Chains A and B, each alone.
Chain A
Amino acid sequence: MMMKRLAVENPLLLITPSEAEAVSREVLARVSANGKATVNVAHHVTVRTRFANNKTPTMESEDTLDIRLVVNLDGKAAIGGTSRTDTEGLVELVRTTEEAARANEKDSIETGEDLAPPATFADPRIYFDASVNAGASKFQGDVARNAAARAAAAGLIAAGTVEVTAGFLLVMNSAGFRGHTRNTYGEFAMTARTKDGKGSGWAWAGGEDFSHVDPEVVVERSVDLCQRSDKPVAVEPGRYTVILEPEAVAQLMATVTGDPTRFMSAFLADEGVTAYSKKEGGNKIGLKMADERVEILYDPEDPDLPFSPLNDDGSLFSRTHWFERGILTNLAWDPWYASRHNRKPLGNPLGRAKLDIAGSKQTLEQMIASTKRGIWVHHFTAVAPLNDRTLLLTGVTRDGTFLIENGKVAKAIKNLRFNESPFFFLNKLDAFGPSGRASANWAAPRLKVHDFEFTSLSDAV
């Protein structure tokens, strides 16, 4: 691969492994002799350009450096953080963290007691010079100006964001584990609106390798959706067959492995507070919760959603199914909770996961052609759980909602609020496409689902 020279002052410049290791060694050297410690050095730099009203008002960079220490002193533990890398700052980090640990109870949960043993791992390809180059302000300014010019030429008003992040993580512990990783991620999203505010279209593309993100495709798609969604008419809320674009599926699925299930925590499921809790107590592992073709999994090597196997406690992620043949097969086991249940700890990589559905795939055209009456959804707004126990969600469609009649896209319709749970619609599958990248953290297919419940109409565009 040809290495492009970095722009002279590209802000996407990460701390080097040797700099991070020096910081980490200094922290470990200062931890008390009886201490078991894990140190993280995490560094993220983002360059972002936002434009709106066909203008480019702001470009910004955010540089976040975080030194994190988990220390366990004879069974008493605490966690500390600082942004400082100088000796004085690191001394302070160790002092305050150890003081907090000494004040703590023994056997607090999350003890930081079981240190990861030394291990090696290999990252998939997740760091790309093309993405680093996309952090250059000239490049981002051009993307924004071109998008705005295209929207203006079409008589529309555009707003959008182009954003690239480079990240670094080093993990070291007092048992000799040492590992580091770096990655890039970039995305471009645009919303085009008609001047009278009656039509709106949104499109997105993103991934670790920004050379696969084509801003022009995003611009054309949002402009096209906006034009076709203009002057929508109202349809009655109710149960409809829906075709959900992969990006919309990802918005709903993010709740399955994310915060509403507290990242699939086995502890919280057993505590009775998540969708994986049984009414009578205990969790739902082993229960069929979705259509038997449904697989939900993560895999660091998955080309659709690659990530580093390195977890911040030094444990390593490997291919794991949360759901297999529709059955809940795993929950996330924190080390402290796993040890109380004689289980192996199992991590959740920030909710990252893929929805894959086994069986023969359909194209969009096939899905539309076989629909007598249905609604085609591109994007939702504000997806939020109504009920953590059932994972019943609500949200409102936006940026391109269409009525399908007799196998054809008939007209643009006003937006609708839905009340649905992934564990309802994953049992109502009519058709599905291949899975692909659909958000920063999810890969998902286009879905066709029957009896998707819309509860009210919204005049919002």
Chain B
Amino acid sequence: MPLTRRLFVRHATTAAAGLIGAPLLPSSWLAARHSADELLDGAAAPYDDADVRALAMRALDAARAAGAKYADVRINQSRLLLLSMNTGTIPADITFMLPAVSSRVTVGVRVVIDGAWGFAGGSTLTPEGVERFARYAAGFARDGRQRLPTAWEYAAAPVVPDGRWETPIETDPFTIPIAQYLQIYRDGMTEAKKIKEARCGAQVYWSKSDRLFASTEGSMIGQRIYESNPRVMAYSARPGDRRLFGYAEVELPSGGYGYETLAKANLKAEWPRAAQDAVRQAARPFKTAAIGRCDVVLGTRVMAALLRPTSRALELDRALGTKANESGTTFAMPPEDIVGHYQLGSKHVTITGDRSRPRATGTTGWDEEGVKPEEFTLVQDGTVVDFVTTRATAPALAAWYARQSMPVRSHGCAARTGRLQPILQLPNLTLKPGAGTTSLDDLVANIKQGYYVEDAYLSSDQQQLNVQVTASAAYEIVRGKLGAAVVDMGLQFTLPRFWQSLVALGGVGSAKLESISVDQSDPDRLEFVGACTVPALVRQLNVMSDGKEA
């Protein structure tokens, strides 16, 4: 055992108030880039460390002693590296924002007493700290419970006594010196800024999370999850209104990747190409949209964005009213009336969820309730056939599952770890491609007069019913070909109407895996999940124009 760890233990037990005690951690969890050392001295992965496991057991013991019927504990050591840079007018050369490096250790204990949940989490990873969190959580459950005892239902899941899973990557991005990242980006940007009319920007985001999950059911799961979310951008102001931009990106894979994706990228060649692209976009004639009903082709990014409200509507906790005071409920409620009956869209629409798609951001070996994720179907040929579930919510659909001869089990959609209580969160989502080999161009060729929306963001109401889409990149379609760029364009529809008006989808060759944001940026949250979609042709959507100024 490394000397440093012993020192921690001693320091921790003598910390006065116990509030700022030292975490009990193996040295392999300490340093930002000691992977090489780990290999050299043969040390085990951090989640295998006996002391960390002992700490988790101590939390569970304290919860049991406080009367918990069930308890679980999560420990998360996260590392984050953020770099961003841009060329700008001020100063005229490359500007680097401050590199940001962080390393956090958090822990949380969740308990059930008399059918009520309690949770307490923080960053005091000491024996006293985890025991205190267990006591708080038990106190919360006791003081929050109903006056009459309530039944507690928690969908069964196989016990995983010794689970291990790691995002399969080639090179840990935290073994690469920051100077090397800055050099790669500086070299690429130096080439890109030779395109005089363009400006360039980049954001580097690497995260690594070492997690341990343990429950009173006997599960003990260690995971190491990597995430990469790079952006390499170029933009060019339009003549006449410098608030409008032509925009292009260098495509770098985002999701469960390591340094190898950046090592393989050729920024010196690709970035100037994107810059030229942005300049071309800016020079392209542009117009505003004609208001009215129109046929529209939507690109994979827009379809990915639309999968969010669609699957939010099928979150089981939302359909059960749990979020009524916050983000709202859903048009798809009550769930027992919806499932198997509700016609969400046309026969072309099949949507699945999973937390197991290789390389997607939401992918994990087990979710935060110790459930091995599986692929599941939310919408089959237009009909809603299931909901996004966790162990705490799945029993609400027991009658439906029984009729389908399916077991009552969670789809593994519990997210948030460490100091935050797990919640139901969206999984990776997939819109099933159309049969055949239809491409984006084929869809566009089908339209005499209409629009192609390449990128957009959207707003939906508290029941995910009324949706307004704001196009950030759109083009008119004239006689089956793309024409002028369109600015300040919006679309408005109700979500079921949208899916019901969908008449064609791109084939498997047009499928693309995008990342969509589902939560705030925080090392203990699941911020992005993958959304694999194809382009779609939708008839007669309501087109708006939103460019008016005060």
Q: Mark A residues whose CB is within 8 Å of B.
A: 9, 11, 13, 15-16, 19, 23, 45, 49-50, 52-53, 55-66, 70, 77-89, 92-93, 96-97, 99-105, 107-110, 112, 137-138, 140-141, 144-145, 157, 159-161, 189-191, 193, 197, 200, 202, 267, 270-273, 277, 279-281, 289, 337, 340, 381-382, 384, 386-387, 389-390, 392, 394-396, 398, 415, 417, 419, 421, 423-424, 427, 455-461
Contacts and interface: CB of A to CB of B under 8 A. Distances in A.
B395 interface: no
Given A92-B31, A390-B550, A272 B243 contact: yes
B350 interface: no
A387 B546 contact: yes
B144 to A, nearest CB: 4
B143 A161 contact: no
Interface string B224-256: 000000000000010001111000000000000
A382 B462 contact: yes
Contact of A140 (B143, B329, B494, B544): B143
B461 A415 contact: yes
Interchain residue pairs A-B with the least CB separation, the first 4:
A63-B122, A86-B22, A460-B463, A81-B102
Contacts of A93: 103
Contact of A97 (B88, B101, B324, B329): B101
Contacts of A386: 459, 468, 470, 490, 546
B501 interface: no
B135 A9 contact: yes
Given A16-B17, A398-B461, A59 B101 contact: no
Interface stretch (B44-52, B92-100, B529-537): B92-100
B402 interface: no
A159 B7 contact: no
A422 B460 CA distance: 20
B20 A15 contact: yes
Contacts of A193: 321, 324, 329
A96 B118 CA distance: 36
A333 to B, nearest CB: 13
Contacts of B8: 86, 88
A168 to B, nearest CB: 11
B192 to A, nearest CB: 16
Contacts of B461: 381-382, 396, 398, 415, 417, 458, 460
Contacts of B30: 88-89, 92
Q: Give the interface SS of chain A, mostly helix, strand, loop or mixed.
A: mixed
A65 B125 CA distance: 12
Nearest to B178: A103
B507 interface: no
Contacts of A102: 179
Interface stretch (B145-153, B209-217, B261-269, B273-281): B145-153
Given A63-B123, A104-B99, A104-B182, A83 B104 contact: yes
A88 B546 contact: no
Contact of A59 (B16, B140, B549): B140
Nearest to B80: A81
The size bracket of the interface on B is 35 or more
Contacts of B320: 52-53
A49 B16 CA distance: 30
Interface in B140-199: 140-147, 150, 177-179, 181-182, 186
Interface in B496-550: 542, 544, 546-550
B98 A77 contact: yes
B367 to A, nearest CB: 18
A65 B550 contact: no
Contact of A396 (B123, B322, B466): B466
B325 interface: yes
Contacts of B143: 59, 137-138, 140-141
B329 A81 contact: no
B399 interface: no
Given A96-B101, A387-B546, 15 more contacts: A52-B321, A65-B20, A77-B98, A79-B98, A105-B96, A105-B182, A108-B96, A159-B324, A161-B325, A279-B242, A386-B459, A423-B550, A459-B466, A461-B329, A461-B463
B321 A60 contact: no
Nearest to B104: A83
A44 B324 CA distance: 26
A82 B96 contact: no
Contacts of B241: 279
B20 A19 contact: yes
Nearest to B544: A455
A274 B243 CA distance: 8
A56 B20 contact: no
A103 B186 CA distance: 12
Which of B320, B322, B466, B544 counts the most chain A CB atoms within 10 A?
B466
A53 B322 contact: yes
A107 B91 contact: yes
A109 B97 contact: yes
A69 to B, nearest CB: 10
Contacts of B22: 84-89
A154 to B, nearest CB: 16
Interface string B101-127: 111111000000000111111111000
Contacts of A80: 100-102
Nearest to A56: B144
A271 B88 contact: yes
27 contacts: A9-B132, A19-B16, A45-B122, A52-B325, A58-B144, A63-B121, A63-B122, A63-B419, A64-B419, A66-B104, A79-B98, A97-B101, A100-B101, A109-B96, A112-B98, A137-B139, A137-B143, A144-B144, A271-B88, A386-B490, A387-B470, A389-B549, A417-B466, A421-B550, A424-B550, A456-B468, A458-B463
Which of A50, A57, A79, A421 counts the most chain B CB atoms within 10 A?
A57
Interface in B462-504: 462-466, 468, 470, 488, 490, 492, 494
B136 interface: yes
Nearest to B96: A108
A231 B204 CA distance: 51
A276 to B, nearest CB: 11
Contact of A145 (B21, B147, B464): B147
B90 A340 contact: yes
B323 interface: yes
